[in-house]
Chains A and B, each alone.
Chain A
Amino acid sequence: MLRRIILGAVAIGLVACATFASFYIAPEERTMGAIQRIFYFHASTAWAGSTTFLVCFVANLLYIWKRKPQYDWLGVTCAEVGAACITVVLITGPIWAKPVWGIWWTWDARLTSTFVLWILYICYLLLRTLVDEPERRALLSALFGVFAFIDVPIVFGAIRWWRTQHPAPVIMGSPGSGLDPVMKKVFFFNVLAMHVLALFLVVERYFLERTKHDVELLQREVEAR
């Protein structure tokens, strides 16, 4: 319990420092001005969301292979935390887009694939509520989770393969693209902070799933008597 409290305190501290750095250390972008500061929060949250979906994918594969309930708990945990991250991305994106593009939303490749990603993981979570039998629920959601992950590389590649409304990547982009060195440091500090926050949420959510398993076992024991 103490470790979880320390992790929570570290996550909050890092996120507070990262937000401070985004506003007071990162220089102002020339063309967009102050609104570009949303980038540090928006993009780092998207990276944290993608990492949790990657862990979910690995956990789903491990469940299909080994059939251990712990992998199922990790899968659903990461799917939920990832869906929360992508919800934030889908909200902060349009708030940034409106003053810069003049529109809240457009069905371009990156935005559409991100929206589809969000829908897929919401379906993953909904699917779990429809199946009562634990082993069947775990297997079905693991199979669906493997399928849902296909969209993650599409989201990553969308701004590299197709040139539409969303800006080209500034990290791991084409030659000539890139960020100011100070902006880059602030961005990677935000990425670290969001990953620690995601880790904290994953740990908390994992314990919830474990308790749910205990309840199911106890319920079966009560019903058996």
Chain B
Amino acid sequence: MKNLNSIFAAYMIGWGVFFLFFLSVVKRSNDLRSEVERLKRSLLKEE
């Protein structure tokens, strides 16, 4: 198969972009969930 390196690069970089995007969503979700927990705790403390 000619140009196999280019095909491989296109697919790998493409999937890499989607994977990184998914990872960033997961990371941001986890950060926000811990922030929600922290804020709930601080509200409970004040009560």
Interface set of A (CB-CB < 8 Å, partner B): 19, 33-35, 37-38, 41-42, 45, 80-81, 84, 87-88, 91-92, 95-96, 98-99, 197, 201, 204-205, 207-208, 211-212, 214-215, 218-219, 221-222, 225
Contacts and interface: CB of A to CB of B under 8 A. Distances in A.
B39 A219 contact: yes
B39 A99 contact: no
A218 B40 contact: yes
B32 A208 contact: yes
A207 B3 CA distance: 41
27 contacts: A35-B2, A35-B6, A41-B11, A42-B10, A87-B17, A88-B13, A88-B17, A91-B17, A92-B10, A95-B10, A201-B21, A201-B22, A201-B25, A204-B25, A204-B26, A207-B29, A208-B28, A211-B32, A211-B36, A215-B32, A218-B39, A218-B43, A219-B39, A221-B39, A222-B39, A222-B43, A225-B43
Contact of A197 (B6, B18, B25, B40): B18
A65 B15 CA distance: 37
Contact of B14 (A35, A37, A88): A88
Given A34-B4, A204-B22, A204-B25, A91 B36 contact: no
Given A19-B11, A98-B6, A211-B29, A84 B39 contact: no
Contacts, number: 88
Which 8 residue pairs spanning A and B have beta carbons closest together? A218-B39, A35-B3, A95-B10, A34-B1, A211-B32, A92-B10, A84-B21, A88-B14
B10 to A, nearest CB: 4
A204 B25 CA distance: 7
Contacts of A211: 29, 32-33, 36
Contacts of A96: 6, 10
B37 to A, nearest CB: 10
A105 B18 CA distance: 23
Interface of B: 1-4, 6-7, 9-11, 13-14, 17-18, 21-22, 25-26, 28-29, 32-33, 35-36, 39-40, 42-43, 46
A214 B29 CA distance: 12
Given A211-B33, A215-B32, A218-B39, A35 B7 contact: yes
A33 B3 contact: yes
A99 B17 contact: no
A215 B40 CA distance: 10
Contacts of B4: 34
B39 A95 contact: no
